[in-house]
Structure 1
Amino acid sequence: MTSPALHLDDPTDATADRFGEGIPRLYLLGGFRLVVDGRTEPLGIGSRRLLALLALRKAPVPRITAAQLLWSDCAGERALTELRGALYRLGPSRAALIDAAPRELLLSGSIRVDVREAWQTCTAVLGSSADASDRALRAALACNLDDDLLPDWDDEWLRVFQDQWRQRRLHALEALSARLTAARWHGAAVDAALAAVHADPYRVSAHQALTRAFTAEGNRHEALRHIVTYWDVLCRELGLDLSDDPVASLGAADREGRASGGDGIIL
């Protein structure tokens, strides 16, 4: 079965803002927050989960599907009752937040969603050439690529979206570090690679990106120190032989990886 994908359409081409001057913004990275006219809207858990689900689905969601996903522990009619309650508790804002048809629901096109915009930025970074423009690089640096998607939520329906976003942002951070290195924005390149390493301390490609960023700015000592530190982590956590020389071992593994057509290991 094909897994759902994040909504990639441009959320900024919306029609008139139905809230007036302030465009509603829905934040899902790092935690849930709905901001309208500069104020954070207090919402119940059911309403928050419903908005999050609609924000992560591209097509309209049948009401029965939304009810079954969000209230999976309830029988069919009871789940639909819970859904109607979540809609009701949105209050006067409901019409501006959700396009509600008799059988399906869709997030309003006037809402800007941070993860949609961040996903588009990742797509642009991954699809750009090594000589990305300064404007594109600044846009990527301004984007939130540090936070996970609703990290404190453990809903079963959400897991595929959390996994998709995590992989997307890690690949984008590594690619962004390479683009920044090519543009000689060395400090920012190191920061992007560090963000990937901190997100997944065991991810080989993230450590590759950081080592290359250090080397490109002329800090070979930092690159070597990082290799040794990473090697120590692998030895302690994965039980590798501590007697091995990290530089020689990783260098040999890197050469073998490149010889076999891969990207190597670290160096």
Structure 2
Amino acid sequence: MGANLWELQLIGGWRLRCDGRYLKVGLRQQRLIAALALLGSQPRPFLAGLLWPDSTDAQASGSLREAIWAISRQLPGLMTNDDGRLELADTVHLDLSDIWDTAAGPSERNRMDLLARGELLPGWYDDWVLYEQEQFRFRRLAALETMAEDRLACGDASGALEAVRAALRIDPLHGNAMRLLLRVHLSEGNHAGALSAYRDFSSRMQAEFGASLPADISGLIRPLLVHS
């Protein structure tokens, strides 16, 4: 009998499937599995301190032992425990891999859908998770902006527009995404769309930061402002 095929989802929420069937997993086990998925193989003392930072060393180690025991009993084959290090099995497929491992696989359409789909572990507020969420956010923005740049260079303004709008949903005032949106509109000769986006950006910057847009963004639109 072959090994189980595990599918772990962290984008948009924690979910685990085994051979196509969703499983109910306790929060303590979820947190340990998520840490291993995001951080890779780790020694047990590190994981105990990471996951139970407000507990004594003895209490944290005990909580980790309980989580390991529950996983080994309820989810056999999901995790390895060798030489004091824990690691997810090679048969665990992580949804994040579908975004970053572009050589392995998904079409650009599927990758766009994944990048736009949602946040990493929404509703989780552990310090280590907040850090991973912020890193994921930065990487999503960079990936979407790269996709927009590539589409624009290929003359696919529609694809570029979709990617840059997905980036702006993550960060509505991200400077490079603002520039890209204006460039896409201008490449299509959509002056009305460019002016509307520029004025929306300007209003948001004033309302949120009391500041004007950077000069390079304003420079893109200045010829239109003269004639508007």
Question: Please, what TM-score do these two structures have when normalized by structure 2?
Answer: 0.85
Contact kept? 1:18, 1:110, Cα under 8 Å: yes
The residue number in structure 1 matching 2:139 is 168
Offset at 1:143?
Answer: 3.4
Asked whether 1:48 is paired with 2:39, we answer no
Structure 1 residues not aligned, in runs of 5+ = 1-15, 125-134, 256-267
Offset at 1:253?
Answer: 8.2
Asked whether 1:77 is paired with 2:48, we answer no
**1:178-217 equivalent positions in 2, closer than 5 A:** 178-217=149-188
**1:57-72 equivalent positions in 2, closer than 5 A:** 57-58=39-40, 60-72=41-53
My pick for the range that moved more, 89-98 or 184-193, is 89-98
Q: For 1:218-264, what per-residue CA distance to the aligned partner results, in whole angstroms no more than 9, with x for missing partners? A: 322211110111111112222247xxxx8x99534889xxxxxxxxx
Quote the Cα distance in structure 2 between the aligned partners of 1:141 and 1:249. 28
SS for the counterpart of 1:43 is coil
Q: Residue 3 of structure 2: which of 15, 18, 22 is its match?
A: 18
Percent identity, please.
32
Contact kept? 1:119, 1:168, Cα under 8 Å: no
Offset at 1:29?
Answer: 1.0
Offset at 1:146?
Answer: 3.8
Quote the Cα distance in structure 1 between the aligned partners of 2:2 and 2:133. 29
Contact kept? 1:186, 1:216, Cα under 8 Å: yes
My pick for the range that moved more, 110-119 or 136-145, is 136-145
Letter in 2 for 1:211: L
Offset at 1:183?
Answer: 2.5
Q: 1:197 to 1:113 in 2, by over 3 A?
A: same
Structure 2 residues not aligned, in runs of 5+ = 223-228
Offset at 1:192?
Answer: 0.9
Quote the Cα distance in structure 1 between the aligned partners of 2:143 and 2:51. 30
Offset at 1:102?
Answer: 4.6
Q: 1:17 to 1:148 in 2, by over 3 A?
A: farther
The residue number in structure 2 matching 1:231 is 202
Offset at 1:43?
Answer: 0.8
Question: Please, what TM-score do these two structures have when normalized by structure 1?
Answer: 0.73
Offset at 1:187?
Answer: 2.0
Quote the Cα distance in structure 1 between the aligned partners of 2:207 and 2:61. 51
My pick for the range that moved more, 64-73 or 232-241, is 232-241
Q: For 1:172-200, what per-residue CA distance to the aligned partner results, in whole angstroms no more than 9, with x for missing partners? A: 11110111122233222111101111111
Structure whose residues are more often helix by fraction: 2
Name the count of aligned residue pairs.
219
The residue number in structure 1 matching 2:225 is none
The residue number in structure 2 matching 1:28 is 10
